[in-house]
Amino acid sequence: MPDTPALLGGTPILEKPLPPPNSMGQEEIDAASRVIKSGVLSGFIGIPGPAHLGGREVLALEAWYKSKFGVKHAISVNSGTTALQAMITAAEIGAGDEVIVPPYTMCATATAVLCCNAIPVFADIDSRTFNIDPVDVRKKITRRTKAIIAVNLFGQPAALDELQVIADEHKLTLLEDNAQGPGATFDGRWAGTIGKAGAFSLNQNKTVHCGEGGVVLTNDDRLAHRCQLVRNHGEVIMDGLMAADPNEQYEPLLGNNFRLPEVLAAIAHEQVKKLDELTKPRVEMANYLTQQLESIDCLTPPYLHAKATHVYFVYAMKFDATIAGMSRETFVKAMQAENLPLGGGYVKPIYRYPIYQQPAHRCAGPFAYEKPSYEGRLCPVTENLYAEQLVTTNICRVPHTREHIDLLVKGIKRILAAKDELERL
């Protein structure tokens, strides 16, 4: 029968899964070719002076970010993860300091804290927005707390106003992981520019990308300078600065090689110019999907914070198994059999990973200090979303269209209509 789900032997709604979106065009090809033909694939040199800040393509990319987001400083690096690590180090967070983070995000948010020899403390998330919950943040503050990292998950900013109030009250630093939220706003301001600094990603899965890359935005001169030092062998630069001016006091700072190559910077520069044209249709399709889901009681569309705009990096919904008459596992499996893009649970709560449950001796640097407990259902809202409630789709991404959304909704209705047969499988 035509409405028989594929999991029960029917014909899938889509013959094969949708191909991954590809936003690369001739502009990116020409930019990469131009740099390769120049023979200058990196403009960085690990010595004091102008070349410490990178080459022409890096500087042009950073200038775009400063202009677009209205900030004083943009520091490009070679990944979103190193953007986080550079930002945390530059914010003077280090050995034994505690940083409050959400457990429901890409693991790098917390890993970057560990890489700075600091300690992640996990605060639960808001069941509506899926972002870190200010109420639980307050409960997790101790004498060791140094900072809060707000992740603007799935493309919607966290409650940055409430988090800033908490940070100010306790003299903490508010930082933003804005890897999934470029182009979103909160209270009329760009996400990623509201905390003391914000980390952006140019990873291949992001709206705009160059394969791998990242950027830190800040209006703080000292933090920006420290980011630049962390990016490019800061201890060597400090030695050169001290030799050139022995009367000036410079704080020693250990750097790394987080430098972005010129080819990737050139590609990224062409990509970021497309941010608005890629974001607008994504938002329009997400709004259309929300409208189409109004009659489907078992799915709750994304909640939008009153002060926020959402760019829908992922369209995340809450699934009610009782109303659906089937488990989330069955629902997701049946949708995927239709070759429709739907997943369940997003990521495992970060504190469940082995480094937190069984820190190996050689990896236990931060845990040499007083370690918080990572045992049990540490964050129950997160646990419930991961295990039972959350489903996500990337159907709203360009070049997908409303017709693809109609097929997704058709699939949902087909699956729900066959709930009794499917649940018996």
pLDDT digits (tens, 9 = 90+) for 116-143: 999 999 999 999 999 999 999 999 999 9
423 falls in which pLDDT band (50, 70, 90)? confident
CATH of 26-272, one of 2.30.40.10, 3.40.50.720, 3.40.640.10, 3.30.460.80: 3.40.640.10
Q: What is the spatial distance between Cα 32 and Cα 24, in angstroms, rounded to a whole number?
A: 11
317 falls in which pLDDT band (50, 70, 90)? very high
Q: Average pLDDT for residues 225-248, to the nearest whole number?
A: 80
250 falls in which pLDDT band (50, 70, 90)? low
| Residue percentage of the chain with pLDDT more than 90 | 85
Q: What is the spatial distance between Cα 225 and Cα 234, in angstroms, rounded to a whole number?
A: 10
The tokens of 282 are what? 């994504």
Lowest-pLDDT choice from 54-63, 102-111, 252-261, 262-271: 252-261
Cβ atoms of 199 and 82 closer than 8 Å: no
Q: Average pLDDT for residues 355-364, to the nearest whole number?
A: 68
pTM for this model (two decimals): 0.95
| Residue percentage of the chain with pLDDT more than 70 | 95
- Say if strands 390-393 and 343-344 run parallel, antiparallel, or are unpaired: antiparallel
Mention every residue, 6+ apart, whose C-beta is less than 8 A from residue 169: none
Q: What is the spatial distance between Cα 78 and Cα 214, in angstroms, rounded to a whole number?
A: 6
Lowest-pLDDT choice from 144-148, 163-167, 243-247, 328-332: 243-247
254 falls in which pLDDT band (50, 70, 90)? confident
Instruction: Using the predicted structure, report yes or no on whether residue 362 has a pLDDT greater than 60.
Output: no
Q: Which residue pairs, CB below 8 angstroms and at least 24 apart, start in 357-366?
A: 365/114, 365/117, 366/95, 366/96, 366/113, 366/114, 366/117, 366/118, 366/119
Mention every residue, 6+ apart, whose C-beta is less than 8 A from residue 277: none
Boundaries of every domain in the chain: 26-272, 275-423
Cβ atoms of 200 and 182 closer than 8 Å: yes
Query: Domain 275-423 is classified in which CATH homologous superfamily?
Result: Aspartate Aminotransferase, domain 1 (3.90.1150.10)
- Mean pLDDT of the chain, nearest integer: 94
Lowest-pLDDT choice from 193-197, 333-337, 421-425: 421-425
Residue recorded with tokens 């995340």: 316
What does the H/E/C string look like for the chain? CCCCCHHHCCCCCCCCCCCCCCCCCHHHHHHHHHHHHHCCCCCCCCCCCHHHHCCHHHHHHHHHHHHHHCCCEEEEECCHHHHHHHHHHHCCCCCCCEEEECCCCCCHHHHHHHHCCCEEEECCECCCCCCECHHHHHHHCCCCEEEEEEECHHHCCCCHHHHHHHHHHCCCEEEEECCCCCCCEECCEECCCCCCEEEEECCCCCCCCCCCCEEEEECCHHHHHHHHHHHECHHHHHHHHHHHCCCCCCCCCCCCECCCCHHHHHHHHHHHCCHHHHHHHHHHHHHHHHHHCCCCCCEECCCCCCCECCCCCCEEEEECHHHHCCCHHHHHHHHHHCCCCCEECCCCCHHHCHHHHCCCHHHCCHHHCCCCCCCCCCCHHHHHHHHHHEEEECCCCCCCCHHHHHHHHHHHHHHHHCHHHHHCC
Q: What is the spatial distance between Cα 367 and Cα 402, in angstroms, rounded to a whole number?
A: 49
194 falls in which pLDDT band (50, 70, 90)? very high
49 falls in which pLDDT band (50, 70, 90)? confident
Instruction: Using the predicted structure, report yes or no on whether residue 242 has a pLDDT greater than 90.
Output: no
